[in-house]
Amino acid sequence: MQPISGTTRLAGVIGHPLAHSLSPAMHNAVYEELGLDWVYVPLHVKDEIGLRRVVAAIQSLPFMGFNVTMPFKQAMLELCDEVAMAASMAGAVNTVHCVDGRLVGYNTDGRGLLEALKDEAGFEPAGKDVVICGAGGAAGAALVGLMLAQAASITIVNRNIDGAEELLDRVRPHMNAVRVQAVSAMAAEETVRAADLLVNATPVGMRPDDDSPIPVQWVGPGQVVYDMIYGRTTALVSGARAQGALALDGLGMLVAQGATAVDIWNESKQVRASRATMRAAAEAQLTAHEQDGR
């Protein structure tokens, strides 16, 4: 780790809980590799009142930027001075760049998902049929990323159909030729079976006893299943693999979205944060958690 001095700049992640966050390990490893005099720290915030207080303080401190994770990605949208179009469309901010006291919000999750799909599954969304489970900030980021990547059709599957429709209404003016629809989870079987890609953007699977967000019998060979949850093999991933689908967890997306944040903060067009370095640090941290029994 780089030595901390009077010139060290700050970065971090705001969320709750953060005990298992891999971001500090990933970021600090790549800062050292890039020779950046930065340090990345967890910023535990329990509620939106705390979020506002921490964000206000950050504007007076030497922060390069910060990440935002559950459950504050949507609330952060309101606290930025400027928001990139993809983040506005997604309805969530997960990366903030501190520029001359102003907060510029981005959403790097969509780009992270696309990068992980290409690198780990050789999957290109253009012309493909996609199903996204969920209608929150993560689902919004996936929807925007896949829409901009020119998927042929995108279906939002959610238990609350109103939430799915609200998400589609927000991005509908930007949809161009992409066909979109919202379907309740109970009526999604035919759509899921016909999809080229299924993305789980819900928190279902984060707990060891969670079931799959959709019946795994609906997926099979020739399909790609991407679960944004990382650090455990979820019921969706294990079940999809048993059904013959190519199923991946969310570690690649976590690494890619984090690396994209570093690239934004670093503002260097010549130097790109190493995804391999960040992934190795994340995997080492996961192993340490397992050995600690956490």
Residue range 205-224, pLDDT digits in tens: 988 899 999 999 999 999 99
Rounded to the nearest integer, the mean pLDDT of the chain is 93
Cα gap 233→244, rounded to integer Å: 16
**β-strand 95-99 against 102-106: which pairing, if any?**
antiparallel
Q: Which CATH architecture has domain 9-107+252-292?
A: 3-Layer(aba) Sandwich (3.40)
> From the candidates 46, 73, 118, 269, which is the catalytic residue?
73
Can you give the pLDDT at residue 92? 92
Place of tokens 């501190």: 98
In the chain, CATH 3.40.50.10860 sits at 9-107+252-292
| Residue 251: both structure tokens together | 């570690």
97 burial via Cβ count (<10 Å: 0-12, 13-18, 19+): buried
Beta strands in 47-175 (DSSP E): 63-68, 82-83, 95-99, 102-106, 129-133, 153-158
Q: Is the pLDDT of residue 245 over 80?
A: yes
Using the predicted structure, report yes or no on whether residue 269 has a pLDDT greater than 70: no
Is a pLDDT exceeding 70 seen at residue 179? yes
What CATH number is given for 110-249 in this structure? 3.40.50.720
What residue ranges of the chain are covered by domains with CATH 3.40.50.720? 110-249
Active site residue 118: no
Show the CA angle centred on residue 278, arms to residues 29 and 1, nearest 5°: 5
Distance CA 218, CA 193 (A): 5
Q: Whole-prediction pTM value?
A: 0.94
